[in-house]
Structure 1
């Protein structure tokens, strides 16, 4: 079997998304006959029909559905490889560190820069959705991540743990409580991915059924989430350092008695061996331990 042509795979995904060759061709800015030929060539290379089509309908075959599942990861990995190669070609003069909201990385970053005067140490703020992606695609060399995440492709080293708190509107009936159980939040609307707070998700399903776990709104930053909390649209559960860093008078934070802590780890791409990564990890541990 011939190697997959990634350009044809991109064309395939466009057709799979639109299920219309004309609209897919327009989105790709190519002529429809060219797109049709490329898809036929891809089917020939794979020895599989990817689409069932007639003059009015286009549908994915079983083989097409399988490729539609596999192709995004394949293309993402290819793009990541290009980025890593590009960074390597520029030399080892930069080192990038990713960090999640609420985490302060100044100490280890400054120490690494002081130990290597010719090295530019960069920092990149990440979020729940991209904290792993920036490591895998090479945008950062090492990242401070908050679990749970998909750890495939990563080397992960625990750094520390911290409590999690519920962040509520200031006028919420529970806002003045010293501590609450997660079951007290089961009726609330969670303004974040339920996978980030599996304890809330599980108790909400147990008490209210699966319909209780509504899809979270598309809120990319802590600042956006807190605006929605303050307005009264729902609640969030945050690590204590994040809630403290973004403290504001129109929201309240309340300790949760029966959920585990947030675990903060250092992570880098599995199989990557770098003296600078090892040095940075040691500096981060020393900082956490309170060593000079």
Structure 2
């Protein structure tokens, strides 16, 4: 017959405590209920298992054989409970974040500093991340949160993920600091994109979402840009603008103040990119996710207010 683990464990407890009442207390049962379970076990195993006496209860030889396996069940149950408690304790302090470069430089540090003050023992890690990989990394469980950027489309996620918008990051035009338009327009004066139709451009590489947005908005402004150079990042684009090679559209958050450059806002409707936090929808086991998300929104709000 197939042994019932509950019966094995009951016998192990009777052996440990030497009485039916001791086993009953551990199991949250009455002595009468324990007596009934013993009777059933003896019928199931077709052997006497427990000897009752004035000083308590002892096991027969057959009962001792079964109790030895019951002790293993008890030990494994205790070990499982301890390991689960350790896991939940670790998860409650764990936060694995992925972010693209500009977010890692400007959004994460203030929020991480605040979180470290609240939870000095937090297990934090930050990974460099391309925005297009953020959903995949959170879905696979390799990250607890991904900070990603989108240009024209929304973040597409499966139902078990959650997306929260953090910031609208406007695009600005980066110019050589001696460019005629920079000299004609004070820092607070926006420039219409159509006034840049004759410029040489430093653009993001074709195939990137930022480049697709650039192509769309220049077409809407009525011109096909002359592309002097294609760069893999906003940092490289700004460095090249500093040499006088051309002008570039760069997100406000990614501005580096590269030597030899200045920037101006674009006249409305100014294009922008949106920054989002992607997390699991259920963060019960990782409560730092929700707490850090609130801190990120505070930082994003502060940054946006300076732009306003």
TM score, norm. by length of structure 1: 0.54
Distance 1:171 1:131 in 2: 39
Distance 1:114 1:242 in 2: 27
Do the aligned partners of residues 234 and 156 (structure 1) sit closer, same or farther apart at CA in structure 2, a change above 3 Å counting? farther
- Equivalence for 2:53: none
What's the RMSD between the two structures over aligned residues? 3.6
- Equivalence for 1:113: 116
- Equivalence for 2:177: 170
Aligned 8 A contact 2:168 2:272 in 1:
yes
Do the aligned partners of residues 113 and 131 (structure 1) sit closer, same or farther apart at CA in structure 2, a change above 3 Å counting? same
- Equivalence for 1:46: none
The superposition leaves residues 137-182 of structure 1 with CA deviations (integer Å, 9 ceiling, x where unpaired) of 5554223323226622353211233432111222333223232112
TM score, norm. by length of structure 2: 0.51
What secondary structure sits across from 1:204 in the alignment?
Answer: helix
- Counting matched residue pairs gives 197
Do the aligned partners of residues 277 and 257 (structure 1) sit closer, same or farther apart at CA in structure 2, a change above 3 Å counting? same
Do the aligned partners of residues 217 and 249 (structure 1) sit closer, same or farther apart at CA in structure 2, a change above 3 Å counting? closer
Distance 1:132 1:231 in 2: 37
What secondary structure sits across from 1:174 in the alignment?
Answer: helix
Distance 2:244 2:136 in 1: 32
* Cα displacement (A) at 1:125: 4.1
- Equivalence for 1:227: 239
- Equivalence for 2:125: 122
Do the aligned partners of residues 284 and 128 (structure 1) sit closer, same or farther apart at CA in structure 2, a change above 3 Å counting? closer
- Equivalence for 2:287: 275
* Cα displacement (A) at 1:213: 8.2
- Equivalence for 1:50: none
Distance 1:133 1:185 in 2: 38
Unpaired segments of 5 or more residues in structure 2?
A: 1-86, 303-308
Q: How does 1:81-120 map to 2 (within 5 A)?
A: 92=91, 94-100=94-100, 101=102, 103-120=106-123
The superposition leaves residues 55-74 of structure 1 with CA deviations (integer Å, 9 ceiling, x where unpaired) of xxxxxxxxxxxxxxxxxxxx
* Cα displacement (A) at 1:133: 5.6
What secondary structure sits across from 1:257 in the alignment?
Answer: coil
- Equivalence for 2:163: 156
Distance 2:131 2:246 in 1: 18
* Cα displacement (A) at 1:283: 2.4
* Cα displacement (A) at 1:267: 1.9
Q: How does 1:1-292 map to 2 (within 5 A)?
A: 92=91, 94-100=94-100, 101=102, 103-126=106-129, 135=138, 138=141, 140-148=143-151, 151-153=155-157, 155-176=162-183, 177=185, 178-187=189-198, 188-193=200-205, 195-196=209-210, 200-205=214-219, 207-208=222-223, 212=225, 217-219=230-232, 221-243=233-255, 246-258=256-268, 259-269=270-280, 274-288=286-300
Unpaired segments of 5 or more residues in structure 1?
A: 1-87
